[in-house]
Amino acid sequence: MQHITDPIDRRLLDEFQRDFPVTERPFQVLGNALGLDESEVIHRLSRMRTTGRITRVGATITPGAVTASTLAAVSVPEERLEEVAALIDAEPGVNHNYQREDAWNLWFVATGPDRAHVNATLARISRVTGLRVLDLRLVRPFNVDLGFRMIGGVKTVPTARQVDATAMREGDRYLLQTLSSGLSLVAEPYADLAHSLNRDVDDVMARVIALHSAGIISRLGVIVRHRALGWSANAMVVWDLPAEQVDTAGPALAAFPGVTLCYERNPVPGVWPYRLYSMIHARSRSEALDVLTRATALPELTGARNKVLFSTRCFKQTGALIQTKEVAA
């Protein structure tokens, strides 16, 4: 992990990306594990959030569990890049927006409480920009949990968890939206969360535990900014292969060292033939390309053509839109 020389900061960023304690004073639990006072843990996390090394301490929501989302792309003339990126960023349902090295050079994720909301977002973006929008819907994930050990060690892919959407209760969408925006960095963050929702803290903690157990919350913990930590060579690698080959290629690629995300998406006939997507987060282009070279030797990827799209700029990175403000109001 580059740029982080303090061993305690390194542990904070490496060991608490998931399974964050759901208890009255969670930062005290972290402090006990690290040999620190609770206030020191909060100070360190606050500092790293201010300096952009972490986005938040909070939740990520399993794609498609209780919301709709899609990966989308537009091909933007260079002279319009700033303008179009700003128009896309202005959409509250857009939670990620990256420039990548390709003719389809602006890639974003549109989220919302349902498919109609996502479709409306894509339609507005197409209308206000005058550009075609590729709608690349998720078919199935092989690994969409970006939390990973950044200081080395054995590559592990989190075990796929069954999602039980029936676990949702009234008020859970508001809770998930707030939790995905991040907990307050205070001694009793769940009490602060409960107060913001005008709810009982014990009820809020019970619902967080239930939603995590149901697989709706995919990860609860420290959400890092990889670029700020030295993982600046981030490549999306897309693979052109038959649907039936994805059955074996997807799990093999997801488990490959250096591959941090892997999923199948619908292609766009005649425009974008790629079905299998993977992300490589590396510290240099050469390191990322080395991972790719070794991955292409997987027997499950025999004959698969790939394209590498390095990220060059991040315009937006926030939590997903789960509940619209209009409804919440």
Is 319 a domain residue?
no
Residues 95 and 320: beta-carbon distance below 8 Å = yes
Is 28 a domain residue?
yes
Instruction: Return the pLDDT at 328.
Output: 42
* Length of the chain in terms of residues written: 329
Q: Supply the mean pLDDT for the chain.
A: 90
Letter string b/e over residues 220-256, b meaning 16 or more CB atoms within 10 A of that residue's CB: bbbbbbbbbbebbbbbbbbbebeeebbeebbbbbbeb
Mean pLDDT value of segment 65-92: 95
Residue 107 has pLDDT above 90, yes or no: yes
How does pLDDT run across 203-262, given as a tens digit for each residue?
999 999 999 999 999 899 998 877 666 667 899 999 999 999 999 999 999 999 989 889
Is 190 a domain residue?
yes
Instruction: Return the pLDDT at 147.
Output: 55
Is 240 a domain residue?
no
Q: Give the C-alpha separation, 185 to 56, whole Å.
A: 9
Mean pLDDT value of segment 287-309: 95
Residue 155 has pLDDT above 50, yes or no: no
Is 73 a domain residue?
no
Q: Which domain holds residue 216?
A: 7-56+161-224
Is 236 a domain residue?
no
Q: How far is CA 111 from the centre of its chain?
A: 12
Number of domains in the chain: 1
Which of the two residues, 245 and 6, has the higher pLDDT score?
245
**pLDDT confidence tier of residue 160, bands split at 50, 70 and 90:** low
Instruction: Return the pLDDT at 154.
Output: 42
How does pLDDT run across 39-65, given as a tens digit for each residue?
999 999 999 999 888 889 999 888 778
**pLDDT confidence tier of residue 4, bands split at 50, 70 and 90:** low
Residue 323 has pLDDT above 80, yes or no: no
Is 304 a domain residue?
no
Mean pLDDT value of segment 71-95: 97
Amino acid at 249: A
Is 202 a domain residue?
yes
Sign of CA dihedral 130, 108, 54, 177: positive
Structure tokens at 247: 């059955």
Amino acid at 289: L
Radius of gyration of the chain (CA): 20
CATH code of the domain covering residue 24: 1.10.10.2890
